[in-house]
Amino acid sequence: MGKVGEELTEQETAIYDRQIRVWGVDAQRRLSKSHIFVSGLKGTVIEFCKNIVLAGVGSLTLNDDRLVTEELLSANFLVPSDENVTSGKSLAELCCESLKDFNPMVTVSVEKGVLANFHVEFFQKFDAVVISCCSLLTKKSVNAKCRKLPRRVAFYSVECRDSCGEIFVDLQSYSKKKNEETIECQLQYPSFEEAIAVPWRSLPKRMSKLYFAMRVLERFEVLEKQNPQDTSGDDLPNVLKLRKELCEAQCINESQIPVPLLQRLLAARVEFPSVCAIIGGVLGQVIKAISGKGDPLKNFFLFDAMDGKGIIEDISG
């Protein structure tokens, strides 16, 4: 985490005055000295980036080498619609330029490269790592790299498909504090790999159906060697076959993973700005983990706009 002992400058104190009144100067100081890495700049993550830049993190590093497409613009308000401006620039570069205007006090930069290829040491300089739009194997790999570091680096993965979204949080070992001296309790978080390995039959009976559906799609993408953005409605027959196999192996009823839900997730192409705003707002939990104020999310958040419910599931084995 950032250098907690450093004082806020007079300019920082003036700009963040309202926030300081809410969560205190110590929390703002931690936030202002923190360094965040974000990879996969779709709508939900864009909302998150806007929020933490306005909140006043120390620095934000963006990673996404993709060029702009019409689909990527559906919920990305940071990218100009002028082709003369976007031509030849990566998504990260364009978003970086826009975010700098939101808060000149925050250092926003771009890190080029493939997320899966970054070494363990690369993540050492960050306090939190947030990734999206990546494969199951990459999620596991990046989370494992964060856990190998000598100090805690918070890990978050977020996926938003159609009108649904999922956030996973790994804070490793986190102390909830009543004040600076008194530790209320210690929270132990499993890795992403450990969490999704928990047998389905041991999960609560009212477990979110979206959780199971996301696991089926992840597994399907691994087997078919597809990226999360490459699935379509044409994949439904094979996905249903896999659903049957997984449900039999996990001893749960197939009705726990409704066909209409899978259809929506598979056919997702355009993002819904309203859903992105909700998931991106919840992803702002990163601020709690860094500042030490408030109860952090543990460890899955699942949202489906069709029923309007956001559910927190603690899947720790």
Show me where the domains of the chain are located: 10-195+271-313, 197-267
**Structure confidence at residue 84 (pLDDT):** 66
Report the distance separating Cα 21 and Cα 53, nearest Å: 18
Q: Give the E-state strand segments of 189-240 in sequence order.
A: none
Q: How many Cβ atoms are within 10 Å of 262's Cβ, its own excluded?
A: 23
What backbone phi and psi angles, to 5 degrees, belong to 142?
-65, -40
Report the distance separating Cα 252 and Cα 82, nearest Å: 50
Report the distance separating Cα 254 and Cα 277, nearest Å: 31
Report the candidate in 85, 76, 160 with the shortest Cα–Cα distance to residue 62.
76
- Under a CB-based contact definition with an 8 Å cutoff, are residues 303 and 309 in contact? yes
Cα distances (Å, whole numbers) of residue 49 to 17, 41, 55, 62, 210: 20, 9, 10, 9, 25
**Structure confidence at residue 85 (pLDDT):** 66
**Residue 204, token pair as written in the block:** 């609560």
Report the distance separating Cα 283 and Cα 148, nearest Å: 23
* Entry pTM: 0.92
According to DSSP, residue 222 is labeled: H
Question: What is the distance in angstroms between the CA of the first residue and the CA of the last residue of the chain?
Answer: 28
**Structure confidence at residue 47 (pLDDT):** 95
**Structure confidence at residue 148 (pLDDT):** 97
Report the candidate in 106, 5, 127, 6 with the shortest Cα–Cα distance to residue 56.
106
- Under a CB-based contact definition with an 8 Å cutoff, are residues 279 and 51 in contact? no
**Structure confidence at residue 203 (pLDDT):** 94
Q: Which residues of the chain have pLDDT under 50?
A: 1-5
Element (H, E) at 129: strand 128-132
CATH superfamily of 10-195+271-313: NAD(P)-binding Rossmann-like Domain (3.40.50.720)
Q: Are strands 59-63 and 35-39 parallel, antiparallel or unpaired?
A: parallel
**Structure confidence at residue 15 (pLDDT):** 82
Collapsing DSSP states into helix, strand and coil, what is residue 108? strand
